Every structure is written in C-alpha cells, then in structure tokens.
Amino acid sequence: MRSTAAVAVLATATVLVAGCGGSSSGGSSSGRIVDGGTFTMALSTDPGNLDPLSSAGTALFEISQLAYDRLLSVDPKSGKILPALASKWEAAGTSVSLTLKPGVTCSDGSPLTATDVADNLTYVGDPKNKSPFLGVFYPAGATAKADDQTGTVTLKLSAGSPFVLNGLANLPIVCRSGLQDRKSLAATSAGTGPYELTQAVPGSQYTYRIREGYTWGPDGASTAVAGMPDTIVMKIVQNPGTAANLLLSGGLNASVVSGPDTKRLDAAKLFSASTPGLSGEQWYNHGQGHRTADPAVRKALTQALNLTQLAQVLTAGNGGPATSLAVSQPAACPGNSVTGKLPAYDPAAAKTAFAAAGITQLSFVYDNSGGTAVAAAAELAVQQWKAAGIDVKAKGQSGTAVQQTIFGSGDWDIAWVPLNVSAPDQLVPFLSGPAAPEGTNFAGISNADYEAGAAAAAKLDGSDSCPAWLTAESALMSAADIVPFAVEQTKTYGAGAEFATPGQLVPTSIRMLAK
C-alpha cells in the first residue's frame, strides 16, 4: 500500500507526502540502452485535479514529477541539500534566500523568474487557497519576496523551521501561464520539468512528451542523455495483480507492486527500485459525534489488535513494525517513538472497555487499490475487533474516494491512511491545528503534549531538534491518537527499462532498454 501524503495534502490513502531515497535491486537487465520510444507506467488511482499544488496524494505527486521541478533536491543517501531550480541558497534563523539557475525555461518557452517562484510560495502560503502543502512543505506564516535582477527569492519565516529546505525540495513550481489560469492545468502542464503534458484522459491515461534543451535538473540532469524515452504514458491500473501481469507481458514498463504478486515478479528477475515507507498506519476520527473521540475507545480498539500479525499480513511477510512517523529516506530524524508507547495487545481488556462504553459498531475505511494483502489485513483487523466484542464495518475504497471521505464527508471512525514524509515537521498540520475541511488535520487530533513538543522542536536547528520531535510523536502513541504498525520496502518494478525512485520516479533517471 503506497503512502498517502495527506494532503488534502496528501490524502489518498496512500498519502505520500514526500520522500527521497531509494535503491535499485532485483534483476539487472542484459539489454543495451536505446534512445526514444514510449515508457508506460501504472498509477493505482487517477490523480484527479492535475494542478500540482492542489493535492499531495500519491498519484498526483508521482505524475507531477514529470512536468514540474522543485527548488532544491536531497541526496538520497546522505540527506544533503543539493541544487535543483536554485543554484545556491542560505538558511539562517528565520531567513532563507535562494538564487535561481540562469536559463531555466517553462514548457511554453518563457523564462522562469524569481517573481514566478515567489508567487508560487505566496499562493501556497495563503490559507484561502487551501493548498495541502501549507505547513507541510512551506511554513505557515512565511512570506516571499523576489528580486528578478539577481534571480533571488527571499523568505521570511514567522517561526523556526528546522527542515525548511527539505520541504522546499518537495514543492512543485508552476510557471506564469499556470499561475494566471490554474484551470488550464487540467489539460496542459505549465512547468520547467523534463516532460510536458500532451494528452489527459481522466480515468485512463496521461501522456507526456520530452522537452529538448532541458539541462537544469538536479545534479546536472538533462534530457540530452542516451536512453531517455520520447514519450511517457501514465496509465491507470487499479489492480496490482493486473499490473504484475502487464509487466510480465510487456504491457507496462514500470509499476509499484506490493503483496503476493511481488514473488512472481522477483522470480522473473525483473528490475526493481525500492523505497522504505509506512504501509500500515491507523487513524481514529476525533470529531464530534464519533465514539472514537473517546480516548478509552481508541485505547480499546488498539488493544484488540495484534499489530505484529497485521503487519505481516499487510506486507505479505515482507515488512516489519513501525518505529517512527517520518521514515521516507533520507529520514531527517531516525529513531524510535513507537515501541513500548502504544497500548499493548490485550483483547480481554478491550472487550471489557467496549462493554463498559456501550459501543457495538463502528465504520472503517481503507484504500483497496493496495490489492489482496491490504484486503486480507483489513479482514483480519475486523475479525480481531469482533473477537473483542465490537462489530466494525469495513469499506474498501479507491485512494481518491478515501481522500474524499477523510477530508470531505467525515463519515468514518477508523481509517488506514499511511502518510509518508522524510521530516517530522511536515506532519504537524495532519496531527494538530484546524480539523478538515478547514485544515488538513483530517482526524481532528488535539494532543497538548504533542503540540508543546512540536513547538519546542521547531525552535531548534536541524538534527538538534530530533529528540524533541520523537518525544512529541510518543505522546500521540501513548494517547492512541495514531497507530503506525507496518513499514516495508515499496518496490517499483521495471520491464524494458531501468530507473531510480527516491520517493517517486525520477524522470531523468529512466533508461529504455532494447528488447
């Protein structure tokens, strides 16, 4: 199950808020690199609105990489901040400055200016626009000013932000034409990326064409490299089994596949690139009128579950327990905020608590695009809750539908929504602040200990803030506000092509191979 960055922000059940890092493994192709051709990749759900600043759901985040660049990049191994659209930068206290690379152009041929960048940041920073990236990749209260003569953008932060550069490395930049007409982004792209959108068929596929003369990618990446495809097709394939079949038959060049289907792809020695992430993360609705707003009920629901068993079923035996909330590589704050903090497995105590509360039935939603392993894990959870005396009605939905449920209707008590980020400060809007639909705190969590810990951590610099962040996360576990229970290596398999996936597919890393 892929992450969901929640956004309304990230919000698909996969919520993937962002990530860097990834490694290649599996079979290595013996074919030679060939230029041109078409690279076809599966998306498990339709991205919906193609405005890259409208959502951080996994599908949109994946597809936005093709047409939209970021200001900075992050080395997947060391975590070092590297150039992207910006050639140099400086962050000190509450001030950040970035100088753009010269010669960067948009897909319509116009130059990218510092004003364009500042306007992107201002758009995200205005709460009226309800960008899911506000407070996640761009600090709330920050202001941006541009100097087009020097190509410099200066940010003034309202408070400390230990990982502000990591956030900017995930923020897509839209060019002037898209800023002026956001509705146009549904059918055309307006970015500086290596590809541009040429056809959009919602629910079916999205086609992109390579941009000649692209030379400003991270670490000097360009489209003048041998092996890059002329065309990229992002095809909606909701069933992982179908995606696996298409990989084996040559109908796809790439797809994320999890669960039992990975065994036959590994046996076929297909190329794969791996990225670690949370795949199992349980949320409770704290909203008024929901029984899960009661801490005793949340504790009992957690005690009723054998989380070790759930993790094994969800990951088809390929994963393990979660130890923190921000695990995308390179993780800014590696450590353990989970072990020993969650209510321990105790179905007898859960049964007593349910009886005392007079609670008999709850609703449970999950993303069914994760395939048979996710469905099996959801069924196991329902069985374990039933054994503890409570009837939980499970409903599998598409990633887009789950997003609409948790951020829109609010018609849920329990949800599996794995949010994947690399820095703990990127989770603050999902774990505190205004509840959906006014904010991105879709579960309506209000934990004073977490909020105090996050505020203290935000005043510290970089990795110095990590102990405070981990302590803050532990407060959420102790209150059973959120239950992370499974981590696994998400594999993107390749057939007839190789690539890198530090969080998402890197377009300039694709190399087509001779059949």
What are the phi and psi torsion angles at 235 (to 5°)?
-110, 135
Q: State residue 117's pLDDT score.
A: 98
Q: Which whole number is the average pLDDT over 342-348?
A: 97
Question: Is the pLDDT at 503 greater than 50, yes or no?
Answer: yes
Q: State residue 79's pLDDT score.
A: 86
Question: Is the pLDDT at 6 greater than 60, yes or no?
Answer: no
Query: How far apart are the C-alpha atoms of 225 and 215, rounded to whole Å?
Result: 10
Q: State residue 14's pLDDT score.
A: 39
Question: Is the pLDDT at 4 greater than 90, yes or no?
Answer: no
**pLDDT 10s digits, 159-179:** 889 999 999 999 999 999 999
Element holding 484 (H helix, E strand): strand 482-494
Strand partners, 25: 272
Q: Which long-range contacts (CB under 8 A, 24 or more apart) does 87-92 make?
A: 89/165, 91/164, 91/165
Query: How far apart are the C-alpha atoms of 402 and 394, rounded to whole Å?
Result: 12
**Side chain identity at residue 510, one-letter code:** I
Query: How far apart are the C-alpha atoms of 490 and 501, rounded to whole Å?
Result: 10
Query: How far apart are the C-alpha atoms of 39 and 5, rounded to whole Å?
Result: 25
**pLDDT 10s digits, 196-216:** 999 999 999 999 999 999 999
Contacts of 110 (CB under 8 A, 6+ apart): 175, 176, 177
Question: Is the pLDDT at 184 greater than 70, yes or no?
Answer: yes
Residue 23's closest CA among 72, 77, 60?
A: 77
Confidence of residue 154 (pLDDT cuts 50, 70, 90): very high
Confidence of residue 370 (pLDDT cuts 50, 70, 90): confident
**pLDDT 10s digits, 438-481:** 888 999 999 999 999 999 999 888 889 999 999 999 999 999 99
Of 216-220, 382-386, 429-433, highest mean pLDDT = 382-386
**Side chain identity at residue 241, one-letter code:** G
Topology of domain 23-68+197-213+222-275+491-512, CATH: D-Maltodextrin-Binding Protein; domain 2 (3.40.190)
Q: Which whole number is the average pLDDT over 79-91?
A: 94
Strand partners, 272: 25, 493
Q: State residue 18's pLDDT score.
A: 41
Structure tokens at 260: 């039992």
Q: Which whole number is the average pLDDT over 284-291?
A: 96
Confidence of residue 24 (pLDDT cuts 50, 70, 90): very low
Question: Is the pLDDT at 29 greater than 60, yes or no?
Answer: no
Question: Is the pLDDT at 8 greater than 70, yes or no?
Answer: no
CA torsion sign for 478, 275, 465, 153 is negative
Question: Is the pLDDT at 390 greater than 70, yes or no?
Answer: yes
**pLDDT 10s digits, 218-244:** 888 999 999 999 999 999 998 889 999
Q: State residue 490's pLDDT score.
A: 85
Q: Which whole number is the average pLDDT over 246-253?
A: 97
Domain ranges of the chain: 23-68+197-213+222-275+491-512
- pTM of the shown model: 0.82
Question: In terms of DSSP bridges, do strands 205-210 and 414-416 run parallel, antiparallel, or are they unpaired?
Answer: unpaired
Helix (H, G, I), strand (E, B) or coil at 110: coil
Q: State residue 16's pLDDT score.
A: 41
Q: State residue 20's pLDDT score.
A: 38
Helix-helix angle 372-387:307-314, to 10 degrees: 160
